[in-house]
Homo-oligomer: A and B are copies of this chain.
Amino acid sequence: MAIIQATIITIGDELLIGQVIDTNSAWMAQELNKAGIRVARRVAVGDVWDEIWNALDEESRHADIILLTGGLGPTADDITKPLLCKYFGGKLIIDEKAKENVVNIFKRLNRPMIERNLLQAEVPDNCTVIQNARGTAPGMWFEKDGKIYVSMPGVPHEMKGMMENYVIPELSKKMQLPVIAHRTLLTAGVGESFLADLIQDFEKALPAHIKLAYLPNYGMVRLRLSSSGFDKEAIENEIELQFAQLQLQVAAYLVTNVDEPMEEVVGKLLLSKNKTMCTAESCTGGYIAHLLTSIPGSSAFYDGSVVSYSYGAKEDLLNVDHQVLLNKGAVSEEVVTAMAKGALQNIKSDFVIAVSGIMGPGGGMSEKPVGTVWVAIGSKEKIETQKLFFRFDRMRNIQLTAVTTLNLLRKFILEQS
A191-223 contacts to B (CB < 8 Å) = 191-194, 196-197, 203, 211-217, 222
Q: Would you give the 0/1 interface string for A37-72, flagging 1 where the beta carbon is closer than 8 Å to chain B?
A: 011111111110001000100100000000000000
A239 at the interface (CB under 8 A from B): no
Complex CA gap A116/B16 in Å reads: 36
Give the number of copies in the complex.
2
CA distance A309 to B5 in the complex (A): 45
Q: A308 contacts the other chain (Cβ, under 8 Å)?
A: yes
On chain B, the residues within 8 Å of A394 by CB distance are 294, 296
Name 6 extra pairs, CB < 8 A, besides A114-B193, A289-B289.
Answer: A17-B33, A19-B184, A74-B193, A286-B305, A293-B309, A298-B309
Does residue A303 face the partner (Cβ distance < 8 Å to B)?
yes
A152 within 8 Å of B by Cβ?
no
- 22 CB contacts below 8 A, A to B, read A13-B226, A14-B215, A18-B33, A41-B45, A42-B43, A43-B43, A75-B192, A75-B196, A76-B196, A114-B197, A156-B396, A278-B313, A281-B289, A286-B286, A299-B309, A303-B309, A304-B317, A305-B306, A305-B307, A306-B307, A316-B348, A317-B347
Report chain B residues within 8 Å CB of A20. 26, 215, 217
Bin the interface of chain A by size.
35 or more
Bits for A111-150, please: 1 = Cβ < 8 Å to B, else 0. Answer: 1001011000000000000000000000000000000000
Partner of A304, one of B44, B55, B310, B393: B310
Report Cα–Cα, A26/B17, bound state, in Å.
7
User: Is A380 engaged at the interface, CB distance under 8 Å to the other chain?
Assistant: no
